Each structure stands twice: as C-alpha cells, then as structure tokens.
Amino acid sequence: MRNYDLEFLKRFSIVIVILAVITVGLIIFAYFLQHSIPTEPSPKAVQRVEQRIAPLGAVYAGSTGASAQAAVAAAAAAAAAASGAYGGTLDGKTIYDNLCTACHTTGVGKAPTLDHGHWDARIAQGKDTLYKHAIEGYTGPDGGIMPPKGGNAGLSEEQIHAAVDWMLSNLK
C-alpha cells in the first residue's frame, strides 16, 4: 500500500466514525423526544376504553339522574290521572252535558233517552252492571253501541259513576 492510500483510509474511517456517532446521537435524541412528549390516544381507543369501564347500571338512589327521572315521570302520571276529563269534575250533570247528552238526549243510535220506559229494565240489572257497561262499553239486545266511557277514555271510573247516577236520578 502506498502512503497516500493509508492517509485516505485513515481520514475516511474518521469521517465514518463521526457520522456513526451523529447517527447514534440522533437515535438517542429521537428516543428521548418520543418519551418526553405525551402521545395523544386515538379517539377510537378512548371510546373502547369508555365502553369497557362504563358502569353496568345507573345508580338508583338519592338525587341521581335515574331516580330524579323516575320521580318526574311518576309526578306527571299522577298529575295526568288527577286532572282527568273536564277538570276531573265529579258533577254528573257536567259530564252528561259535555258528552253523554250527544246520544242519550237525542236517542241517536238506539241510545236510551232519559225516560223510565227506556231505563226500568236496564235498572233491574243492578247499578253495578250499569256502571260496568258504561265503563267497558255495551251492546244490548237493542243492538245499539254504548262506547267505553262514552268515548272519552280520560274519564275516571268515579266520573262515570257520577254521570250514571245523575242520569238515573233525572229519568222522567
């Protein structure tokens, strides 16, 4: 080997070594960077984790959402039941005048009008049967159609009782 070849090899190896050191330094620096900057989890992963750690049932006590909702629903149902049709009145005449009169005053569709001739046989069945027929609906031998609660499902049973009572005490 000639002298300048040796010289070249020496310099070339030094350059290689320096480059290798820089490479290792960059790798270490990149490694350090990767660990010092917090990674952002993918939204899908977050979603999956949330699904896995979601509680099996909502807590149903105290003023938590579930019991509060149930309380509101119960209050609404109670209010709806309490208000009833025609303001929940138990005045038989009011109920009759608002609804039953349409058929029972005119006698339309074979509805019995308020006279004893139409009612004595019906009364003989007993008041409870009349109540029941008025609440559940009825088609008797005459073939007329008494709709359940006169067609207003918002009427309570007490209101129907009141209306029937009023009808029975106002027969001519």
Contacting residues toward ligand HEC, per CB under 6 A: 95, 99-100, 102-104, 109-112, 122, 125, 129-130, 133-134, 138-140, 142-147, 150-151, 160, 163-164
The minimum distance between CB 157 and ligand HEC, in angstroms, equals 11
Q: How far is CA 163 from CA 1, 113, 125, 135, in A?
A: 128, 14, 17, 11
Q: What angle do CA 78, 80, 83 make, to 5 degrees?
A: 105
The minimum distance between CB 92 and ligand HEC, in angstroms, equals 8
Q: Of 11 and 127, which has the nearer Cβ to ligand HEC?
A: 127
Chain centroid, CA 47 distance in Å: 26
Tokens (6 digits) for 153: 């499902």
The minimum distance between CB 156 and ligand HEC, in angstroms, equals 11
Q: Of 67 and 93, which has the nearer Cβ to ligand HEC?
A: 93
Tokens (6 digits) for 43: 């939204």
